[in-house]
Structure 1
Protein backbone atom coordinates (compact mmCIF):
# COMPACT_ATOMS: atom_id res chain seq x y z
CA UNK A 1 0.00 0.00 0.00
CA UNK A 2 1.38 3.44 -0.90
CA UNK A 3 1.59 6.25 1.64
CA UNK A 4 -1.27 7.98 -0.16
CA UNK A 5 -3.47 4.87 0.00
CA UNK A 6 -2.63 4.39 3.69
CA UNK A 7 -3.55 7.97 4.57
CA UNK A 8 -6.78 7.78 2.55
CA UNK A 9 -7.69 4.62 4.49
CA UNK A 10 -6.90 6.41 7.77
CA UNK A 11 -9.34 9.20 6.94
CA UNK A 12 -11.96 6.77 5.66
CA UNK A 13 -11.78 5.10 9.06
CA UNK A 14 -12.08 8.53 10.72
CA UNK A 15 -15.26 9.38 8.84
CA UNK A 16 -16.69 5.93 9.61
CA UNK A 17 -15.80 6.39 13.29
CA UNK A 18 -13.76 3.20 13.02
CA UNK A 19 -11.29 4.12 15.74
CA UNK A 20 -9.73 0.65 15.89
CA UNK A 21 -9.18 0.76 12.14
CA UNK A 22 -7.44 4.13 12.47
CA UNK A 23 -5.25 2.96 15.32
CA UNK A 24 -4.23 -0.17 13.40
CA UNK A 25 -2.68 2.05 10.71
CA UNK A 26 -0.41 3.85 13.18
CA UNK A 27 3.17 3.04 14.06
CA UNK A 28 3.41 2.04 17.77
CA UNK A 29 5.60 5.13 18.34
CA UNK A 30 3.45 7.52 16.28
CA UNK A 31 4.14 11.20 16.93
CA UNK A 32 0.96 13.29 17.09
CA UNK A 33 1.62 17.01 16.78
CA UNK A 34 -1.63 18.84 17.54
CA UNK A 35 -2.49 22.39 16.54
CA UNK A 36 -2.12 23.46 20.19
CA UNK A 37 -0.05 21.96 22.99
CA UNK A 38 2.66 19.38 23.28
CA UNK A 39 3.28 16.47 20.96
CA UNK A 40 2.07 13.04 22.01
CA UNK A 41 4.22 10.00 21.28
CA UNK A 42 2.87 6.46 21.10
CA UNK A 43 -0.39 4.74 20.22
CA UNK A 44 -1.53 4.76 23.88
CA UNK A 45 -1.38 8.58 24.09
CA UNK A 46 -3.02 8.88 20.67
CA UNK A 47 -5.80 6.54 21.85
CA UNK A 48 -6.40 8.76 24.91
CA UNK A 49 -6.61 11.79 22.61
CA UNK A 50 -9.11 10.01 20.35
CA UNK A 51 -11.32 9.11 23.35
CA UNK A 52 -11.41 12.77 24.41
CA UNK A 53 -12.20 13.85 20.87
CA UNK A 54 -15.00 11.28 20.55
CA UNK A 55 -16.53 12.45 23.84
CA UNK A 56 -16.35 16.19 23.10
CA UNK A 57 -16.84 16.38 19.33
CA UNK A 58 -18.83 14.78 16.53
CA UNK A 59 -16.86 15.39 13.34
CA UNK A 60 -16.95 14.42 9.69
CA UNK A 61 -14.36 15.56 7.16
CA UNK A 62 -15.39 16.68 3.68
CA UNK A 63 -13.83 18.33 0.62
CA UNK A 64 -10.66 16.31 1.16
CA UNK A 65 -7.67 16.97 -1.09
CA UNK A 66 -4.66 14.65 -0.75
CA UNK A 67 -1.18 15.57 -1.92
CA UNK A 68 1.76 13.19 -1.91
CA UNK A 69 5.40 13.51 -2.84
CA UNK A 70 7.79 11.32 -4.87
CA UNK A 71 9.52 9.53 -1.97
CA UNK A 72 6.17 8.03 -0.88
CA UNK A 73 6.75 8.99 2.76
CA UNK A 74 4.68 12.14 3.27
CA UNK A 75 1.10 13.10 2.51
CA UNK A 76 -0.65 16.44 3.04
CA UNK A 77 -4.41 16.62 3.37
CA UNK A 78 -6.64 19.68 3.16
CA UNK A 79 -10.24 19.26 4.37
CA UNK A 80 -13.28 20.86 5.96
CA UNK A 81 -14.27 19.78 9.46
CA UNK A 82 -18.05 19.58 9.88
CA UNK A 83 -18.59 19.24 13.59
CA UNK A 84 -20.75 19.47 16.67
CA UNK A 85 -19.23 20.57 19.98
CA UNK A 86 -20.78 18.13 22.48
CA UNK A 87 -18.79 18.44 25.72
CA UNK A 88 -16.60 21.33 26.86
CA UNK A 89 -12.88 20.87 27.32
CA UNK A 90 -10.89 22.76 29.94
CA UNK A 91 -10.02 26.26 28.78
CA UNK A 92 -12.51 26.21 25.89
CA UNK A 93 -16.03 27.65 25.62
CA UNK A 94 -19.06 25.87 27.10
CA UNK A 95 -20.51 23.18 24.87
CA UNK A 96 -24.18 22.82 23.99
CA UNK A 97 -24.11 20.94 20.69
CA UNK A 98 -22.99 23.94 18.63
CA UNK A 99 -22.37 23.09 14.97
CA UNK A 100 -19.25 24.36 13.24
CA UNK A 101 -17.61 24.20 9.81
CA UNK A 102 -13.86 24.80 9.87
CA UNK A 103 -11.10 24.49 7.26
CA UNK A 104 -8.11 22.44 8.40
CA UNK A 105 -5.09 20.52 7.17
CA UNK A 106 -2.86 17.66 8.23
CA UNK A 107 0.59 16.43 7.34
CA UNK A 108 1.36 12.75 7.76
CA UNK A 109 4.57 10.78 7.53
CA UNK A 110 4.72 7.07 6.70
CA UNK A 111 7.51 4.63 7.59
CA UNK A 112 7.54 0.87 7.09
CA UNK A 113 3.89 0.80 6.03
CA UNK A 114 2.54 2.64 9.09
CA UNK A 115 1.71 6.26 9.84
CA UNK A 116 4.54 7.55 12.02
CA UNK A 117 3.53 11.21 12.35
CA UNK A 118 0.27 13.17 12.25
CA UNK A 119 0.48 16.97 12.41
CA UNK A 120 -2.78 18.94 12.34
CA UNK A 121 -3.46 22.64 11.74
CA UNK A 122 -6.60 24.75 12.02
CA UNK A 123 -7.55 28.26 13.11
CA UNK A 124 -8.37 27.91 16.83
CA UNK A 125 -9.57 31.54 17.25
CA UNK A 126 -11.99 31.00 14.36
CA UNK A 127 -13.27 27.75 15.92
CA UNK A 128 -13.82 29.54 19.25
CA UNK A 129 -15.73 32.30 17.43
CA UNK A 130 -17.88 29.72 15.62
CA UNK A 131 -18.86 27.83 18.79
CA UNK A 132 -19.29 31.01 20.85
CA UNK A 133 -21.74 32.72 18.47
Structure 2
Protein backbone atom coordinates (compact mmCIF):
# COMPACT_ATOMS: atom_id res chain seq x y z
CA UNK A 1 0.00 0.00 0.00
CA UNK A 2 1.65 3.28 -1.06
CA UNK A 3 2.25 5.93 1.57
CA UNK A 4 -0.42 8.25 0.08
CA UNK A 5 -3.09 5.59 0.63
CA UNK A 6 -1.93 5.09 4.22
CA UNK A 7 -2.14 8.84 4.82
CA UNK A 8 -5.65 8.87 3.32
CA UNK A 9 -6.69 5.91 5.52
CA UNK A 10 -5.46 7.63 8.69
CA UNK A 11 -7.12 10.92 7.67
CA UNK A 12 -10.40 9.08 7.03
CA UNK A 13 -10.14 7.37 10.43
CA UNK A 14 -9.82 10.72 12.19
CA UNK A 15 -12.49 12.34 10.02
CA UNK A 16 -14.84 9.59 11.24
CA UNK A 17 -13.67 10.27 14.82
CA UNK A 18 -14.52 13.96 14.50
CA UNK A 19 -17.97 13.08 13.12
CA UNK A 20 -18.55 10.69 16.03
CA UNK A 21 -18.93 7.85 13.52
CA UNK A 22 -17.38 5.00 15.48
CA UNK A 23 -18.87 2.41 13.11
CA UNK A 24 -16.90 3.95 10.22
CA UNK A 25 -13.74 3.89 12.35
CA UNK A 26 -14.30 0.25 13.25
CA UNK A 27 -14.89 -0.65 9.57
CA UNK A 28 -11.33 0.49 8.80
CA UNK A 29 -9.81 -2.02 11.24
CA UNK A 30 -8.06 -5.25 10.31
CA UNK A 31 -9.36 -8.47 11.88
CA UNK A 32 -6.06 -8.70 13.85
CA UNK A 33 -6.46 -5.17 15.21
CA UNK A 34 -4.62 -4.05 18.37
CA UNK A 35 -5.25 -0.82 20.30
CA UNK A 36 -2.27 0.11 22.47
CA UNK A 37 -3.75 2.36 25.13
CA UNK A 38 -1.87 5.37 26.51
CA UNK A 39 -0.37 4.30 29.87
CA UNK A 40 -2.45 1.13 29.72
CA UNK A 41 -2.69 -2.31 28.23
CA UNK A 42 -3.39 -3.67 24.78
CA UNK A 43 -6.97 -4.06 23.63
CA UNK A 44 -7.19 -6.76 20.96
CA UNK A 45 -9.92 -7.16 18.36
CA UNK A 46 -12.66 -5.03 16.89
CA UNK A 47 -15.17 -5.89 19.64
CA UNK A 48 -12.94 -4.55 22.40
CA UNK A 49 -12.37 -1.38 20.40
CA UNK A 50 -16.14 -0.98 19.88
CA UNK A 51 -16.68 -1.25 23.65
CA UNK A 52 -13.92 1.32 24.22
CA UNK A 53 -15.60 3.69 21.73
CA UNK A 54 -18.96 3.38 23.51
CA UNK A 55 -17.32 4.22 26.84
CA UNK A 56 -15.42 7.15 25.37
CA UNK A 57 -18.53 8.57 23.67
CA UNK A 58 -20.41 8.57 26.99
CA UNK A 59 -17.50 10.01 28.98
CA UNK A 60 -15.85 12.56 26.67
CA UNK A 61 -16.78 14.80 23.74
CA UNK A 62 -13.67 15.44 21.66
CA UNK A 63 -12.71 17.12 18.41
CA UNK A 64 -9.25 16.82 16.91
CA UNK A 65 -7.59 19.81 15.25
CA UNK A 66 -4.17 20.75 13.86
CA UNK A 67 -3.93 17.28 12.29
CA UNK A 68 -0.69 16.30 10.55
CA UNK A 69 -0.46 12.78 9.08
CA UNK A 70 2.74 10.95 8.14
CA UNK A 71 3.39 7.59 6.44
CA UNK A 72 6.36 5.41 5.64
CA UNK A 73 7.29 5.06 1.97
CA UNK A 74 5.96 1.49 1.82
CA UNK A 75 2.72 2.49 3.58
CA UNK A 76 3.04 -0.14 6.32
CA UNK A 77 3.37 2.46 9.08
CA UNK A 78 1.86 5.84 9.75
CA UNK A 79 1.54 8.49 12.41
CA UNK A 80 -0.59 11.50 13.25
CA UNK A 81 -0.03 14.50 15.47
CA UNK A 82 -2.99 16.58 16.61
CA UNK A 83 -4.62 18.58 19.38
CA UNK A 84 -7.51 17.08 21.36
CA UNK A 85 -10.15 19.68 22.20
CA UNK A 86 -12.49 18.06 24.67
CA UNK A 87 -15.17 18.22 27.30
CA UNK A 88 -15.18 15.80 30.22
CA UNK A 89 -18.82 14.67 30.41
CA UNK A 90 -18.99 11.76 32.86
CA UNK A 91 -16.56 10.69 35.58
CA UNK A 92 -14.19 7.99 34.37
CA UNK A 93 -13.39 5.54 37.22
CA UNK A 94 -10.04 6.34 38.84
CA UNK A 95 -9.88 9.83 37.35
CA UNK A 96 -11.02 13.24 38.66
CA UNK A 97 -14.74 13.98 38.90
CA UNK A 98 -16.36 15.20 35.69
CA UNK A 99 -18.09 18.58 35.86
CA UNK A 100 -18.15 19.46 32.16
CA UNK A 101 -14.53 20.67 32.20
CA UNK A 102 -12.88 21.63 28.92
CA UNK A 103 -9.36 20.57 28.01
CA UNK A 104 -6.88 21.06 25.18
CA UNK A 105 -4.21 18.41 24.90
CA UNK A 106 -1.47 17.70 22.34
CA UNK A 107 -1.49 14.04 21.31
CA UNK A 108 -0.22 11.63 18.72
CA UNK A 109 -0.77 8.14 17.41
CA UNK A 110 1.22 5.52 15.56
CA UNK A 111 -0.35 3.09 13.11
CA UNK A 112 0.47 -0.23 11.51
CA UNK A 113 -1.37 -0.99 8.26
CA UNK A 114 -2.00 -4.48 6.91
CA UNK A 115 -3.99 -5.44 3.80
CA UNK A 116 -5.19 -1.84 3.42
CA UNK A 117 -6.66 -1.73 6.93
CA UNK A 118 -5.51 -0.43 10.31
CA UNK A 119 -3.87 -3.26 12.24
CA UNK A 120 -2.60 -1.23 15.22
CA UNK A 121 -3.16 2.17 16.80
CA UNK A 122 -0.86 3.30 19.61
CA UNK A 123 -2.00 6.58 21.18
CA UNK A 124 0.12 8.93 23.28
CA UNK A 125 -0.78 11.99 25.34
CA UNK A 126 0.31 13.48 28.65
CA UNK A 127 -2.17 12.10 31.20
CA UNK A 128 -0.71 14.25 34.01
CA UNK A 129 -1.35 17.38 31.91
CA UNK A 130 -4.95 16.25 31.27
CA UNK A 131 -5.51 15.62 35.00
CA UNK A 132 -4.14 19.12 35.80
CA UNK A 133 -6.54 20.65 33.29
CA UNK A 134 -9.67 18.93 34.64
CA UNK A 135 -8.83 19.07 38.37
Q: How would you bin the TM-score normalised by the shorter chain?
A: over 0.9
Equivalent position to 1:75, from 73, 78, 89? 78
CA distance in 2 between partners of 1:78 and 1:88 (Å): 26
| Structure 1 residue runs of 4 or more that deviate by more than 2 Å after TM superposition | none
The farther-off stretch of 27-36 and 103-112 is 27-36
Q: Secondary structure at the match of 2:108?
A: strand
Partner in structure 1 of residue 30 of structure 2: 27
Tell me the alpha carbon deviations over residues 37-66 of structure 1, each in whole angstroms, 9 at most, x when there is no partner.
Answer: 110000000001111100100000000011
Describe the SS at the equivalent of 2:81: strand
Aligned to 1:116: 119
**Residue 95 in structure 1 maps to residue 104 in structure 2:** no
Match of 1:56 in 2: 59
Q: What TM-score comes out, normalization by structure 2 length?
A: 0.95
CA deviations on 1:92-128 (whole Å, 9 max, x unpaired) are: 0000110000000000111001100000000000000
Look up the match of 1:85: 88
Partner of 2:6: 3
State the TM-score, normalizing by the size of structure 1: 0.97
Aligned length in residues: 132
Q: Which runs of 5+ in 1 are unaligned?
A: none
